[in-house]
Amino acid sequence: MAGTAVRGRLTWQTATVDSVTDETPSVRTISLSVPDWAGHRAGQHLDIRLTAEDGYRAERSYSIASAPGEPVAITVERLDDGEVSPYLTEELRAGDEIELRGPIGGYFVWDGGASDSAPLLLLAGGSGVVPQRAILRHRSRVGSSVPVRLLYSARSWAEAIYRSELGAEPDGVQVIYTLTRERPPGWTGYARRVDQAMITEVAWPAAQAPAAYVCGPTSFVEAVAADLVALGYPPQRVKTERFGATGAP
Ligand X SMILES: Cc1cc2nc3c(=O)[nH]c(=O)nc-3n(C[C@H](O)[C@H](O)[C@H](O)COP(=O)(O)OP(=O)(O)OC[C@H]3O[C@@H](n4cnc5c(N)ncnc54)[C@H](O)[C@@H]3O)c2cc1C
The contact set with ligand X (CB under 6 A) reads 45, 60-63, 75-77, 79, 81-85, 127, 130, 241, 243-246
The CB-of-83 to ligand X minimum distance in angstroms stands at: 3
Task: State the Cα–Cα distance between residues 249 and 83, nearest whole angstrom.
Answer: 20
Cα separation, 29 vs 15, whole angstroms: 15
d(CA 73, CA 2): 34
Spatial distance between the Cα atoms of 181 and 172, rounded to a whole number of angstroms: 29
SS3 (DSSP) at 156: coil
Output the DSSP codes for 53-91.
TTS-EEEEEEEB-SPTTSPPEEEEEPPTT-SSHHIIIII
| Comparison of 203 and 217: residue with beta carbon closer to ligand X | 217
Closest CB to ligand X among residues 162, 177: 162
Instruction: Between 86 and 119, name the residue whose CB sits nearer to ligand X.
Output: 86
What's the distance, Cα to Cα, between the start and end of the chain in Å?
49
For the CB of residue 27, give the shortest distance to ligand X in the complex, in Å. 7
- Contact of 175 with 166, CB cutoff 8 Å: yes
Sign of CA dihedral 184, 188, 192, 198: negative
What's the closest the beta carbon of residue 105 comes to ligand X, in angstroms? 7
CB of 63 to ligand X, least distance (A): 4
Beta carbon of residue 108, minimum distance to ligand X (angstroms, whole number)? 8
Residue number of the CB atom closest to ligand X: 82
Min dist CB 185 to ligand X, Å, is 29
CB contact set of 30 (below 8 Å; sequence gap of 6+): 17, 19, 20, 73, 74, 75, 76, 88, 92
Which residue, 76 or 100, is less far from ligand X as judged by CB? Answer: 76
Phi and psi, residue 246, nearest 5°:
-100, 40
What's the closest the beta carbon of residue 127 comes to ligand X, in angstroms?
A: 4
Q: Which is nearer to ligand X, 203 or 238 (CB)?
A: 238
